[in-house]
Chains A and B, each alone.
Chain A
Amino acid sequence: MSTIFDLSQPGRNAAAQCADLDGAALARLPEAALRAASPALPEVSELQAVRHYTNLSARNFSIDSQFYPLGSCTMKYNPRGAHRAASLSGFLGRHPLAPERASQGFMECLFALQEILKEVTGMAAVSLTPMAGAQGEFAGVAMIRAYHRARGDLERREILTPDAAHGTNPATAVMCGYTVREVAVDGNGDVDLDALKAAVGPQTAGLMMTNPSTCGVFERQAVQIAQVVHDAGGLLYYDGANLNAILGKVRPADMGFDVLHLNLHKTFATPHGGGGPGAGPVGVGERLLPHLPVPVVAQHEGGYRWLTEDDVPGTIGRLSAFAGNAGILLRALAYALMLGRTGMDRVSDFAVLNAAYLATRLKAAGFELAYPNRAATHEFILTLAAQAKAHGVSAMDFAKRLLDFGMHAPTTYFPLLVPECFLIEPTETECREELDRFVDAMIAIAEEAERDPEHLRTAPHNLPVGRLDDVKAARDLKLRWTPG
């Protein structure tokens, strides 16, 4: 496919629809602010531009067009109703600096979302400001740090993470100035309690955990783990990445967690991918209340007001210019209200049922589960090590070949502890026929691996581009393209 620059012809444009250039305004600009040469923009007709980008967009893999079982990412459908609610002109036209009295409707919405998230997680308070999961994690660990400092407990320099933790967990701990100590998990995907007991001490600031873990299994000793860490004076951080599996069933606060972040772009069905915009609200128990990031919406004299640094003097501060990704927060509220209490419960029912159904059918078809003794949660892991050994085809080859079947590949090679790892998360929004189609594709690819492994190794065959050279892409970075 040609680039938009290839289509360019000098002088071709659609200027009739441009705003009139105000020559007088241009003349008032200082010399230094004016370009010496015109920018290298493509010169095309409006129709050419529309066609070009429409055709490009049709080449995307997306949840609107393909099954997207990308493990640990919860690529569920984003309901159009939520998009429509967030697109009401009152929301779109609201200025972020508008005074509280002119923003009561918007603030009521944020307050309602705070309350729903509190109820779902069991936490004492929620701040919606973090703009993404990573920022939510940062806020959470920054609060743990603020808590220890406020108590004059300055020797706690270590954060523990199970080796089945999300890769972002150790990264967050390092960003917050901690050193990381890994704790092993056993063959069934549970944290090794003895190793944990040996690792905690007066240096322990906290433990970061994802539950269900990235092994796709529910950590059964969560309460004992919390006990060990609390006894050592540390706090517990819950990474909400996999909350979809336990929504309405188990509350992180009841498992002993002191602080968490939620990925609204996963569990609460807001748009996702391409770098954002995400939303990573944080929830805290009583101990971390004084450190919550601001602003937070509070009820006040029959209406709502912003809590700021004056109200929360021990706050870790602000994480975004205003109140977070407002449009995303509104979508999450609309989604939660559409579900209601009963629906919230059914999300995890069907997320787990769909994963268990896929795991059972794939196992029956001869695929090997990485944790055969454990029930699937909202996701599960296949190990394709046997296929790799027998036919020289890797998990990556399976992943690439799935693209030819019109399905996005599952997460590959993560978590790292499983060889030739395939982490599959169907989400609750897929119907049975779609799940069956995936199983059929996997069976067809496994047969192909025996008959014609080379066909897998060179896949994809039906896409606009063939196998990408990801080694060259990483070693030989080209971040700019300049028209020739």
Chain B
Amino acid sequence: MSDTPDDLRYASTHEWARLDDGGVVVGISDYAQDALGDVVYVELPEVGQEVQAGEEIAVVESVKAASDIYAPVGGVVEAINEALDDGPEIVNQDPYGDGWFFQITPDDETQLEELLDAEAYAEQCAAEQH
């Protein structure tokens, strides 16, 4: 069973989001990293880039597939995790910690509430696995 921490919000496209000091930190879920397999490359957005909620903003590539990452909330990209350039395997090792992708300063924090909570997301994953 994959890990879905209760203090995070999740997009149905398998990104997680955490409000942290006014910024929203985004990564991919444990379920997603497990389904992708070994991550070999991550393409991150530019700092300062403006994004809409649901827009394609990054790409994660594993030996099985390349998948788009969608911005769970709209806003401006404040920071990116450059450590993933040389260490894409961090996404597999620590998807909710050091494996974060980018941080967005949201236009509207309440967008977070439109995302799934841990329970709803875990249900979705269980349904997909079947």
Contact = CB atoms under 8 A, between A and B. Distances in A.
Interface of A: 413-414, 416, 419, 470-471, 474-475
B63 A471 contact: yes
A413 B65 contact: yes
A470 B63 CA distance: 7
B38 A471 contact: yes
B114 to A, nearest CB: 18
A220 B64 CA distance: 29
Contacts, number: 19
- By secondary structure, the B interface counts as loop
Contacts of A416: 64-65, 67
Nearest to B129: A419
A326 to B, nearest CB: 34
B60 interface: no
B129 A413 contact: no
Given A413-B65, A474-B40, 6 more contacts: A419-B129, A470-B63, A471-B38, A474-B41, A475-B40, A475-B89
A363 to B, nearest CB: 19
Interface in B1-59: 38, 40-41
Interface residues of B, number: 11
A475 B88 contact: yes
A471 B64 contact: no
8 contacts: A414-B65, A416-B67, A419-B129, A470-B63, A474-B40, A474-B41, A474-B61, A475-B41
Contact of B40 (A413, A414, A471): A471
A172 B102 CA distance: 27
B120 to A, nearest CB: 19
Contacts of B89: 475
Nearest to B40: A474
A34 to B, nearest CB: 41
A306 B66 CA distance: 42
Contacts of B61: 474
9 smallest CB-CB distances across A and B, nearest first, come from: A474-B40, A471-B38, A413-B64, A470-B63, A475-B40, A416-B65, A471-B63, A474-B63, A471-B40
A471 B89 CA distance: 10
A162 to B, nearest CB: 16
A285 B73 CA distance: 42
Nearest to B87: A475
Nearest to B86: A475
Contacts of B64: 413, 416
Contacts of B38: 471
Contacts of B63: 470-471, 474
A419 B35 CA distance: 9
A419 B128 CA distance: 9
Contacts of B67: 416
A414 B63 CA distance: 12
A63 B41 CA distance: 32
A419 B127 CA distance: 12
A407 B61 CA distance: 28
A90 to B, nearest CB: 45
Contacts of A414: 65
Nearest to A395: B64
A470 B61 CA distance: 13
B64 to A, nearest CB: 4
